[in-house]
Amino acid sequence: MASHRKPRTRVRTSAPAIGLTTAALASVTLLSTQSAVAAPDPKPSVEDVQKKVDDLYRQAGTATQQYNQAKEASAAQRAKVDALLDDVAKRADKLNDARRTLGTYAAAQYRNGSIAPSATFFLADDPQSYFDQSQLMDRMTSRQQKAITDFRAQQAKAAKKRAEAVRSLETLTTTQATLRTSKQDVRTKLGEARTLLSKLTAEEKARLAEIERKKEAEAERKAQELAKQQAEADRKAEEAAKEPGSGSGTGTGTGTGSDSGATTKAEQVLAFARAQIGKPYVWGATGPASYDCSGLTQAAWKAAGVDIPRTTWDQVEIGTRVATADLRPGDLVFFYDDISHVGIYKGDGMMIHAPKPGANVREESIYYMPIYGSVRPA
């Protein structure tokens, strides 16, 4: 009778439970995955975009100076290579002249019946191996010995110049690679900045413009404070110059002939800079239609008869360092810790500079950017 009992179905009843649990877990996992994929990155605030864009422009400024430096080095290296190659060609001519002279002596010895071993020496492709044979040297006249000495000297100099030219070409190749890299870096940073700005809505662009206005207003306020401080310092200096015993005599001024010359140069620098206002910033440009920051400062001082280096990193090393409170028109003011920007001080806390891509040469407060330091080129 027991064999006719209905089999237990415990396993069957538990199987659906396991299947349901697995399905539930799979559903939770799927939902979690979908939630993770669906959740977009939070949109940056306008303030974050403004900081990022400013940083990208600063990085582009640094890359621009690297480009300028590499371009200048490449031009100098190219000139050096060309000069070396010209020198190698001239020395090759001299070497051939010396070889022809040796050939003349060899031909003479042949006609006189003394071809060996001197003729072998003279006509060999590599006569160097024979130079140490003293028995051959004894048979030569003083003129022949001089011809061989000249040949050896020209051969050594030509080899030296050829090796130097090869090294210079290698350096030029490296410099040109740096130039290409810097150029691409500038384009990449500017492209990233443009992309960020293009994603802003009209409302966000208005807020960004308001942030810029507040920044400019604060920078102008600081410039006005500096202007007051400098005016007060000048007034005190004039009063001190008028006091008896100050050496002023007539009291019409305190400047020496040197100061007068510096003032004239500064006026020429500023006259040039003002004439460039409104021209576009273009990275790597040195005028006359467009400029980058250091291209403008270099051109302005050149207009005053003073040659200064091309990059901000080299310009900051020239002349005399000047404290911000002691700035005078024509001085160069540098910005950021990496010295990637420069402007020309015009007085009253203001400067003329080529700001950044998309902007034109303009007047602006020196406090618009963090000041690194200042120099007076001459």
Task: Give residue-wise pLDDT tens across range 228-238.
Answer: 999 999 999 88
Cis peptide bond prior to 117, omega within 30° of 0: yes
Supply the Cα-derived Rg of the chain in whole angstroms.
Answer: 39
Q: Comparing C-alpha atoms, which of 155, 208, 160, 169 is closest to residue 45?
A: 208
Residue ranges of E strands in the chain = 320-322, 332-335, 341-347, 350-353, 362-365, 371-376
Which residues sit opposite 375 in a β-bridge?
321, 332
**Token pair of 21, please?**
């649990």
Candidates 200, 293, 333, 361; catalytic one: 293
> Residue 321 — very low, low, confident or very high, per pLDDT cuts 50/70/90?
very high
- N residues, the chain: 378
Candidates 71, 189, 265, 353; catalytic one: 353
DSSP assignment, residue 365?
E
Q: Is the pLDDT of residue 25 over 50?
A: no
Higher pLDDT, 375 or 251: 375
Measure the CA–CA gap between 243 and 241, rounded to whole angstroms. 6
339 within 8 A of 263, measured Cβ to Cβ: no
| pLDDT at 124 (0 to 100) | 55
Candidates 161, 310, 341, 346; catalytic one: 341
Query: Known catalytic residue: 369?
Result: no
- The pLDDT > 70 percentage for the chain reads 75
**Token pair of 96, please?**
């051939």
Q: Alpha-carbon torsion 106, 108, 110, 115, what sign?
A: negative
Reported as a single tens digit per residue, the pLDDT across 237-258 is 888 888 876 554 444 444 445 6
Backbone φ, ψ for residue 330 (5° rounding)? 100, -20
312 within 8 A of 365, measured Cβ to Cβ: no
Backbone φ, ψ for residue 369 (5° rounding)? -130, 160
For residue 138, the one-letter residue type is D
Query: Known catalytic residue: 293?
Result: yes
- Sheet architecture: strand order including 332-335: 320-322, 371-376, 332-335, 341-347, 350-353, 362-365
Query: Known catalytic residue: 4?
Result: no
Higher pLDDT, 325 or 4: 325
Reported as a single tens digit per residue, the pLDDT across 86-142 is 877 877 777 777 777 767 766 666 665 554 555 555 555 555 555 544 445 555 567
Measure the CA–CA gap between 257 and 242, rounded to whole angstroms. 18
| pLDDT at 156 (0 to 100) | 81
Write down the number of H helices and E strands in the chain.
9, 6
Mean pLDDT check: name the lowest of 138-147, 299-308, 322-331.
138-147
| Three-point CA angle 297, 64, 282, nearest 5° | 65
